[in-house]
Amino acid sequence: MTIKKHLNANQIKLIAIIAMTIDHLTWAFFPGTQAVWYVFALHIIGRLTAPIMWFFIAEGCHYTRDIWKYAGRLFLFAIVSHFAYNFAFGIPFLPFSTGSFFNQTGVMWSLAWAVVLIAVNRDERIPTWAKILAIIAVCLITFPSDWSCIAVMCPFFLYQHRGSFKKQAVDIVVWTLMYAVVFFIFLDKLYGVLQLFTFLTIPLLAQYNGERGRKLPGSKWFFYIYYPAHLVAVGFVRLAVNGNIPIIF
């Protein structure tokens, strides 16, 4: 018996940006990783966002007519989003100026490089050794961004396993678990535990029916523009509530 799936791409993406907005506003109102149940619960809602982004990067690479133009759009918004992301969370615009190697720019940087890696990997003219070097190089380039190189490797494998949701679910679990374990052991135990709740995205993505959804004027650009736009708004909330201090530690 075929189980009917009820959610199209636009509906799932809308859930993602609502969850993302809740998560980012929670950082603005409650800086740092706080062991307060309602703060933690709001951040749990935010864990829905990243795997949805990764999943639809893989879908975008499959459906796009020109994967390099697709990558170019993402790089454009990655540059814009760098300033919006750093403003939102009180991070200096110049990377590494605080001595930290984490959260130096937004996740769009990693997502753009994920598309590049997918494009390189599916080009049969490129030898295997060069593809392996590309993976290493891209992981190093994206390591300082939000979600680090996990936001490259998970979309990369989601693309490879497109057509088998069970394998894609395993990809989400494996890569998220790796990120969670690193944070738990070396950086922030509570934040590491929090990342495990990204697994809640899997039953949501299982409802994806393969359809884009109703096309509205400007809808192609809405999800691109919303990311930096909402971060700017979060930045002003941060300044109003906390002053000019970093809110991610």
Does 123 reside within a domain? yes
Does 77 reside within a domain? yes
pLDDT at 134: 97
Token digits of residue 72? 């170019």
Q: Which residues 6+ apart lie within 8 Å of 195 measured at CB?
A: 47, 176, 179, 180, 183
pLDDT tens digit sequence for 181-207? 999 998 889 999 999 999 999 999 999
pLDDT at 95: 84
pLDDT at 32: 87
Distance CA 31, CA 121 (A): 40
pLDDT at 6: 86
Distance CA 22, CA 71 (A): 27
Does 14 reside within a domain? yes
pLDDT tens digit sequence for 31-90? 988 889 999 999 999 999 999 999 999 999 999 999 999 999 999 999 999 999 999 999
Does 69 reside within a domain? yes
Confidence class of residue 2 from pLDDT cuts 50, 70 and 90? low
Length reported for the chain: 249
Does 78 reside within a domain? yes
Q: Would residue 172 be called left, alpha or beta, if left means φ above 0 and alpha means ψ between -120 and 50 degrees?
A: alpha
pLDDT at 48: 96
Q: What pTM did the predictor assign?
A: 0.94
Confidence class of residue 213 from pLDDT cuts 50, 70 and 90? confident
> What is the rounded average pLDDT of the residues 100-121?
94
- Measured CA angle at 107 (ends 85, 191), to 5 deg: 90
Does 3 reside within a domain? no
Confidence class of residue 249 from pLDDT cuts 50, 70 and 90? low
Distance CA 115, CA 111 (A): 7
Question: Over 90: is that where the pLDDT of 99 sits?
Answer: no
Whole-number CA gyration radius for the chain: 18
Domain that holds residue 78: 9-242
Residue 91 dihedral angles phi and psi, to the nearest 5°: -105, 135
Q: How many domains, in total, are found in the chain?
A: 1
Contact 232, 19 (CB under 8 A): no
Does 1 reside within a domain? no
Does 249 reside within a domain? no
Question: Over 60: is that where the pLDDT of 169 sits?
Answer: yes
- Measured CA angle at 240 (ends 234, 245), to 5 deg: 80
Confidence class of residue 212 from pLDDT cuts 50, 70 and 90? confident
